[in-house]
Amino acid sequence: MADQWPVADQWIDLEPQRIAERIRTGRRTIFVVITTVSAVVLLVAVLAFAVARPLGLSEAVVAVPAAALAVVLGLVPWPEALTELRDLAPTVAFLAAALLLSHLCDQAGVFRYAGAVAGRLSRGAPRRLLVLVFAIAALVTAVLSLDATVVLFTPVVLATAAALSLTPRPYVYACGHLANSASLLLPVSNLTNLLAVAASGIGFLRFLALMALPWAGVVVVEFVILRRYFAGDLAGSSPARPPAPSLARPPRFALATLGLTLVGFVVTGAFGLHPVWAAAAGAAVLLLAQRGGGRTTWAALSLPFCLFVLSLGVVVLAVGRSEAGVLVARLVPRHEGLVALLLLAGLAAVLANLVNNVPATLMLLPLVSHRVGPIMAVLLGVNIGPNVTYAGSLATLLWRRVLRGAGQSPRVGEFTRIGVLTVPACLTVGVAGLWLSLRL
């Protein structure tokens, strides 16, 4: 019996250690829960304010304090926040330059010209007009980004349909959907693409080569489904005469500048430069041609929105560092086969509809960095997925705001129904196209 007493003494000595360890474990659990909840609450607050925009206030009104609070609370260490801001700065600078370029193109009459040409070439045939709207919207989205399609081309499409006495629904839905799904083609087509390029180092031409096939497949699928869905609205012909050719004078200088800017994107990519330089050069040329513009022109830089994107990056970093980020990381497939890419694109689409596509991109890219196939699969998900819900992308929210302002408010049920029809089919075709492109 005497030999057993040291064991008993040892057991007695270990009890305080076990109690202390349990206390430490409990404290760590509470800390993890608090930090995770705090990060998620900050993100939800930022996104909810961006969706509602009460009194027309900028999205930055809540996003900037939320980012500062994330640093103060220790959710994001200050050095990591600075690194995130430094990494995002060139992308946000491009966003400002692209918004200014789009505005100056609008001032030069590029979009009015495109609408007039579409109306004239359609000769009053609703289906032919849908083909033309698809072609122009896909091109505008690819070259001038999705915001140009939503804010500048959609009103022109509404006016064109009204001039031809046609129901605008098929055409405005084409603009809304293509603003997201047709933004796959070029790095400059979407902010999410620029974030992916920054994370992977993929060049302009390499990006184009990988995304050309998925982009074409997705646009065709969107067209087939929307044409079938709106078959009743597209039947018959317009009772009104198409616009006269004299109404569509081509803005040659602006179109030439756009063409050279696109060439500039290729050149800067070839030399490893950020495309912000090409966008800024194109905007500067048009700005000089229009003799500086006024307050409206400079407001097109949307500096408050740029602050919102920078702040959002810090808030999303807080979520990514929390247990919520760990959970998302566990769901990311580790392989790069066709099924894995499809699952990853589906995860990105779901996440985009839950937290918006830009936060979803910022959260997923670090988990697949330097893996080209998965990065492109993420882009397919975050660019196509937002067509299911309004909150999926800021472009969709802008699209709804434009239509409301024109008295053509879209119905939530119809928007969701069309999204459910198009998004799974587009994701499947897009991922299949990406899988083939990666093997060519």
Task: Give 236-274 as a DSSP string.
Answer: S--SSPPPPGGG----HHHHHHHHHHHHHHHHHHHTT--
Look at residue 16 in the predicted model and tell me its pLDDT: 67
Residues, the chain = 440
Neighbours of 235 (CB within 10 A): 9
Look at residue 383 in the predicted model and tell me its pLDDT: 96
Which tokens belong to 430?
A: 């897009």
Which tokens belong to 268?
A: 């800067």
Residue 246 — φ and ψ, nearest 5°? -65, -20
User: Are the C-beta atoms of 126 and 235 separated by less than 8 Å?
Assistant: yes
Nearest to 88 by CA among 244, 274, 267: 274
Task: Report how far residue 121's alpha carbon sits from residue 128's, in angstroms, rounded to the nearest whole number.
Answer: 8
Task: Report how far residue 396's alpha carbon sits from residue 166's, in angstroms, rounded to the nearest whole number.
Answer: 23
Residue-level pLDDT, tens digit, the chain, 440 residues: 444 545 555 544 556 667 666 666 666 677 678 888 999 999 999 988 887 878 878 888 999 999 999 999 999 999 999 998 998 888 888 888 888 898 899 888 899 899 888 888 888 889 999 999 999 999 999 988 888 899 889 999 999 998 888 999 999 999 999 999 999 999 989 989 988 888 777 888 899 999 999 999 999 999 999 999 999 989 866 665 555 444 557 899 999 999 999 999 888 887 888 888 999 999 999 988 887 655 566 777 778 888 988 998 899 899 988 888 888 889 998 888 999 999 999 999 999 998 889 889 989 998 997 789 999 999 999 999 999 988 888 888 889 888 888 888 888 899 999 999 999 999 999 999 999 999 98
Which tokens belong to 239?
A: 């009772």
74: helix, coil or strand?
A: coil
Taking CA 266 as the corner, what is the angle to CA 260 and CA 269, rounded to the nearest 5 degrees?
135
Nearest to 378 by CA among 389, 387, 367, 393: 367
For 276-331, the pLDDT digits (tens) are: 899 999 999 998 888 765 556 677 777 888 898 899 889 989 998 888 888 888 99
Look at residue 24 in the predicted model and tell me its pLDDT: 66
Nearest to 421 by CA among 219, 197, 169, 221: 221
Look at residue 14 in the predicted model and tell me its pLDDT: 53
**DSSP secondary structure code for residue 390 in this structure:** G
Task: Write the CB contacts of 360 (distance below 8 Å, at least 6 apart in sequence).
Answer: 348, 351, 352, 354, 381, 382
Burial code of 16-30, b = ≥16 C-beta within 10 A, e = fewer? eeeeeeeeeeeeeee
Look at residue 241 in the predicted model and tell me its pLDDT: 58
For 16-43, the pLDDT digits (tens) are: 667 666 666 666 677 678 888 999 999 9
Task: Report how far residue 231's alpha carbon sits from residue 207's, in angstroms, rounded to the nearest whole number.
Answer: 35
Look at residue 11 in the predicted model and tell me its pLDDT: 47
What are the sequence ranges of the domains in the chain?
18-439
Q: Where are the beta strands (DSSP E) in 59-131?
A: none
59: helix, coil or strand?
A: coil
Look at residue 21 in the predicted model and tell me its pLDDT: 67
pTM, to two decimals: 0.85
Look at residue 85 in the predicted model and tell me its pLDDT: 92
Look at residue 246 in the predicted model and tell me its pLDDT: 47
Task: Report how far residue 373's alpha carbon sits from residue 258's, in angstroms, rounded to the nearest whole number.
Answer: 30
Task: Report how far residue 88's alpha carbon sits from residue 241's, in angstroms, rounded to the nearest whole number.
Answer: 49
Look at residue 405 in the predicted model and tell me its pLDDT: 81
Task: Report how far residue 359's alpha carbon sits from residue 135's, in angstroms, rounded to the nearest whole number.
Answer: 29
Look at residue 13 in the predicted model and tell me its pLDDT: 53
DSSP string of 321-380, one letter each residue: HSHHHHHHHHHS-S--SHHHHHHHHHHHHHHHHHH-HHHHHHHHHHHHTT-HHHHHHHHH
Instruction: Report H helices in 164-294.
Output: 169-181, 191-200, 204-229, 252-270, 276-289
Look at residue 338 in the predicted model and tell me its pLDDT: 94
Residue 372's Cβ-side half-sphere holds a number of Cα atoms within 13 Å equal to: 14
Task: Write the CB contacts of 5 (distance below 8 Å, at least 6 apart in sequence).
Answer: none
Q: Write down the mean pLDDT value for the chain.
A: 86
